[in-house]
Structure 1
Amino acid sequence: MSVLKLDGNHLTIEDIKDFLGNSDSTVEITEDAYARVRASRAVVESIIKNKKTIYGITTGFGLFCNVLITEEKTAQLQTNLIRSHAVGVGRPFKEEVALLMMVFRLNTMLKGHSGVREELVNQLKTYINKRIIPVVPEQGSLGASGDLAPLSHMALTLIGEGEVFKDGIAVDTKELLNELQVAPISLEAKEGLALINGTQPMTAQGVVNYIEAEKLMEDSLWIASLTHQGLRGITDAFDHKIHESRGYKESVYVAEKMLDYLEGSKLTTRQGELRVQDAYSLRCIPQVHGASFQTLTYVKEKLEIEMNAANDNPLIFSEAEVYSGGNFHGQPIAIAMDLLKIGVAEIANISERRIERLVNPQLNEDLPAFLSPEDGFQSGAMILQYMAAALVSENKTLAHPASVDSIPSSANQEDHVSMGTIGSRHARDIIDNVRNVLATELFIAMSAVEIRGVDKLSPKTKEKFNQYRQVADFLDHDRQFSIDIQNLSTALRSI
């Protein structure tokens, strides 16, 4: 069983990979983190006792920040906040994303700047460890003032309201709590606000996006290597001298990986043997794929900062230092997700161009037109290229940056927002499209190299070929190819 220790400061993407990769993984809270939680809560209790005016503790929210709340209403204020802000619509986030929302929200509370009680952090810990996963509608957040709507749906479940997942189905929270003998919690002063002022939905979806995008970019290289052999590509373009002379370490990495995958192939050529140079979709694999790898470096850095960030408001540092700020603003993650969208979309753009070269008889080095087993009578891979082109075109719309948009809210008090959650969701959709495009290239490339002769493949790509040939058969007759693509796409998630 994997145990993830949370202290508010040291969470990494690799930690999350391990956590999500083990269904029985749990979280623990370090003792120093508990000490920080107790200290910050003592400050909140003092503020209430001394009737100080502090946003969200003894005042209303947003435009109502100047409305004072009496001591006897401070607890009910927090419940009112959660209920009124749970306005999300649309399909729910996937369970793994909702689970990470709780992990990340708990982690930020452990920094000791949120003023919550131990009871609340323990409630989150219980929900995570028992997999009481909230149903969180994915639409309705502006990505500033926190991801208010989605986090409110998460918070509702902690008090026994809203819905949670049970065997993949949405059920009333109380039903599952009764079954597991877990009691709902009552929120006290500051705790409702501490639950929803943050970027956890966009960050949780962003981390899942990153993990999937990283794998897809790695997979794209050996898939491109199969295509390269199917088209009798020239290996000289991957020589280390070319890429070291430019200086991008990601391009150097991709070129090295391509040569590694192609080593020992009897299908590749050298410049001048069949032609002097390849088209860009083959020759520029290191430059294009390498540039996409660059986006991963930026995105990972920003996500790991945000996973350990204090993004509450107000933030408590001491009794004399309780400051209202804007750490809940999602702009850093919004820009990171927009960058990821572009980087991943480009993988599909160049993949689709390789698909075209594989099926076009004017470009595919004497392979059958559309890899058809019978010209004219069977269409072969003709419409597979159409499908890939449609997904690539859809990605161009989804890749439009969400972070450049802003709509004022709360009577213009909150007059600039990030739209980061929209960007994160769109990045997810692009990744799904890219996976299907790569599955299509893989399907067609496997058939192309089978026509050329599997025995001529490089050893490393032959190993991949043998793995994935178990998933989808040779293109030897017209059939419902969408089944093959779906099966390969599913396999690319796990193999």
Structure 2
Amino acid sequence: MTTVGNRSITLEDFYQILFKDNAIEISPAAQKRVSDCFAFLLDFAKEKLIYGINTGFGPMAQYRIDEHEQAQLQYNLIRSHCAGQGKPIDTVYVKALMVARLNTFLRGKSGVHPDVVALLTAFINRDIFPVIFEHGSVGASGDLVQLAHLALGLIGEGKMWHEGRQVPASEVLAAHNLTPLSVHLREGLALMNGTSVMTGIGVVNLIHSRNLLNWSLVSSSLLSEIVESYDDHYSAELNEAKHHPGQQQVAAQMRAILQDSDLVRKRHEHLYDKKVTADVLEDKVQEFYSIRCVPQILGPVYDTIASATTVVMHEINSVSDNPIIDKDKGSVYHGGNFHGDYVSLEMDKLKIAITKLSMLAERQLNFLLNNKLNNKLPPFVNLGRLGFNLGMQGAQFVATSTVAENQTFSFPMYVHSIPNNNDNQDIVSMGTNSAQITSKVIENTYQVLAVQLLTTIQAVDYLGFEDRLSSVSREVYQQLRALVPVFTEDGIMTEKILKIKEFIQAEHVQLPASVVGQPAAVAATELVAS
């Protein structure tokens, strides 16, 4: 059980709710804040003009709405904005955005009736998910269209997911003995006017990004062992000469992974402590950048994830409504807390960082597959008969094309403001688009890493290195080999890649405690983010 409303919600809370199926309960203090705020607004709004209660919306706010029509106004807002198009958003993102919206209401500055909190909590705990579509938000007056579909489900209309099918919301609520929400004052606007979709998707992106970073660290460390690289490129002495915390953390984690490896070499033993007389060295004195510069490449990824975590969690624990209802000050404040620029910029930065991580994986994969570069593996890590069998050749095309797609997706949304809404929204954030594209980059990167890891374990078997791997690397190797046994003959690769992808993507996967001491999904960046 996760209690919410008594403190700031954390990324770990989201992980437990979304991926460990923790139920949530509302703290009594938060319930009181919600009730007190609603009671204050109900009294304060009498004979006062307040946007979205007795006025129209957006550029039509100059039109006063009579009291007997005010409830219908909220229903009109919800239904008219249920215009979403495109594919339905995956339910894990829907659940995340519902938790984000609930957390906003628990701040006690939205003026919603307590029924909203109770019903939304019931939806979350019972995995009741309104069908919400990917297209519709410009991320400026909040995620209006997507959140309208959430509101539609709460009032018992539209469609919901039930046992893998889309069914009428009224049937789902009836099956759960739940009463649809009735509008009391401003519930339509309060449900729709906020950044909860982009932040909900953003939270899931952060969990996956941390997981990807961990797997990239492990695969990079495995590659260092395969090529029997020197260990000074991830040494404390070298990396502490640069003052970036991400670089230092990545190097430290590589040292933890490789501490008992029998494969990585010490430069002193091979090049310093004995006289080297050969004019031309058979072994490289320095490895390729994709091996030697991992701390410098993944370090910025680490720092970007940490920065995005701070910003997104600040946003989730904020109030993104308009107007803001302040019971303590006895007033209502109008402004633009629904504007999603903070999240939009961080999601753009995150997708660039994860794209770079996928590019590193693709270059490391190419090194493994090209025998002219590694000088120790057969072409395409082909464990069969050269010329007759093809090894990992076909799989490389998947990784290369997928990285190219990531590179295209990495063009920023943050600077793509398009005025709309009769120019009332004359500059917008496109934050939800940015978050959704980031989720596609993340999905793609899992595919690339799956190809790389499958190739890596084939290389380990060709070289006969299993017993010489570090204990961390050996455990990962064995986990992956349990999914895909060593193969020499050609066969359908899709299923092999998918098994690896689903394994590394699963949020319950844990890397050994000696690496980060916590679940892969919460990953190493927690040290910086906290």
Q: Normalising by structure 1, report the TM-score.
A: 0.96
Structure 1 segment 28-177 matched on structure 2, within 5 A: 28-50=25-47, 52-177=48-173
Partner AA of 1:266 in structure 2 = D
Matched, 1:309 2:305: no
Q: Is the 8 A contact 1:229 1:449 kept in 2?
A: no
Contact 1:227 1:441 in 2 (8 A): no
**CA offsets 1:130-160 (integer angstroms, 9 cap, x no match):** 2221111111110110100000000001111
Quick check: 1:9–1:111 contact (8 Å CA) kept in 2? no
How many pairs were matched up?
491
Distance change in 2, residues 1:365/1:390 (3 Å): same
Where 1:90 maps in the other structure, the secondary structure is strand
Aligned with residue 454 of structure 2, among 422, 427, 443: 443
The CA deviation string for residues 80-105 of structure 1, in whole angstroms up to 9 with x for no partner, is: 00000111111111112111222211
Q: Contact 1:232/1:365 (CA < 8 Å) preserved in 2?
A: no
Q: Distance in 1 between matches of 2:360 and 2:98?
A: 37
CA contact (8 A) 1:240 1:252 kept: yes
CA contact (8 A) 1:83 1:152 kept: yes
Residue 4 (structure 1) aligned with residue 2 (structure 2):
yes
Query: Residues 72 and 409 from structure 1, CA distance in 2 versus in 1: closer, same or farther, beyond 3 angstroms?
Result: same
Q: 2:413 aligns with which of 402, 418, 421?
A: 402
2:335 to 294, 303, 325: 325
Alignment of 1:281-320 (within 5 A): 281-318=290-327, 320=330
Letter in 2 for 1:41: F
Give the deviation of 1:58 after TM superposition: 0.9
On the 8 A contact 2:4/2:26 being kept in 1, the answer is yes
Contact 1:226 1:446 in 2 (8 A): no
Instruction: Give the CA deviation at 1:320.
Output: 4.7
Deviation string, structure 1 residues 253-292 (Cα, Å, up to 9, x no partner): 2112222222333333344662210010000001101110
Please state how far the C-alpha of 1:235 moved relative to its aligned partner. Answer: 1.6
Q: 1: CA distance between counterparts of 2:88 and 2:454?
A: 32
Give the deviation of 1:219 after TM superposition.
Answer: 1.2
Aligned amino acid, residue 104 of structure 2: T
Q: Structure 2 CA distance, aligned partners of 1:251 and 1:49?
A: 58
Q: Given residue 334 of structure 1, which amino acid in structure 2 is its aligned partner?
A: S
Q: Is the 8 A contact 2:311 2:343 kept in 1?
A: yes
Q: Name the CA distance, whole Å, in 2 between partners of 1:16 and 1:267.
A: 39
Task: Show the 5 A alignment for 1:237-276.
Answer: 237-271=233-267, 274-276=283-285
- Listed as ranges, the matches of 1:337-352 within 5 Å are 337-352=347-362
CA distance in 2, matches of 1:239, 1:467: 28
Residue deviations 1:32-52 (CA, integer Å, cap 9, x gap): 2222222221233224432x1
Hey, what does 2:198 align to over in structure 1? 202
Asked whether 1:22 is paired with 2:10, we answer no
Contact 1:93 1:138 in 2 (8 A): yes
Is 1:479 aligned to residue 491 of structure 2? yes
Listed as ranges, the gaps of 5+ residues in structure 1 are none
- Cα separation, 2, equivalents of 1:395 and 1:83: 36
In angstroms, what is the RMSD of aligned CA positions?
1.5
> Deviations for 1:450-490, whole angstroms, at most 9, x for unmatched residues?
11112222222111111110111224121111211111000
Question: Letter of the aligned partner of 2:307 in structure 1?
Answer: Y
Q: Does residue 221 in structure 1 map to residue 221 in structure 2?
A: no
| DSSP 3-state at the match of 1:266 | coil
Specify the alignment match of 2:287 in structure 1: 278
Distance 2:406 2:117 in 1: 39
- Larger CA deviation: 335-344 vs 471-480: 471-480
Classify the secondary structure of the residue corresponding to 2:351. helix
2:445 and 2:312 map into 1 onto residues whose CA distance is 21
CA distance in 2, matches of 1:231, 1:171: 55
Do the aligned residues in 2 keep the contact of 1:265 with 1:458 (CA within 8 Å)? yes
CA drift at 1:223:
1.2
Partner of 2:438: 427
Distance in 1 (CA, whole Å) between partners of 2:390 and 2:480 is 23
Equivalent AA in structure 2 for residue 428 of structure 1:
S
* Distance in 2 separating the partners of 1:236 and 1:464: 23
The reply on whether 1:455 has 2:467 as its aligned counterpart is yes
Measured in 2, the distance between the counterparts of 1:235 and 1:120 equals 57
Taking the aligned partners of 1:309 and 1:116, their CA distance within structure 2 comes to 16
CA 1:265–1:119 in 2, change beyond 3 Å: closer, same or farther? closer
1:388-431 deviation digits (Å, cap 9, x = unpaired): 11111100111111111111111001111111111111111111
Q: Tell me, yes or no, if the aligned pair for 1:141 and 1:421 is still in contact at 8 Å.
A: yes
Instruction: Please state how far the C-alpha of 1:304 moved relative to its aligned partner.
Output: 1.0
CA drift at 1:18? 1.4
Shift of 1:378: 1.4
Q: Aligned partners of 2:157, 2:124: CA distance in 1, in Å?
A: 17
Task: Give yes or no for contact 2:251–2:295 (8 Å, CA) kept in 1.
Answer: yes
Deviations 1:287-346 (A, max 9, x none): 101110011111110111111111000111148521111000010000110111011111
Name the structure 2 match of 1:417. Answer: 428
C-alpha displacement of 1:246:
0.8
What percent of counterpart residues are identical?
A: 37
SS at match of 1:341: helix
- Conservation of the 8 A alpha-carbon contact between 2:138 and 2:432: yes
Gaps of 5+ in 2: 272-282, 510-530
CA distance in 2, matches of 1:366, 1:213: 32
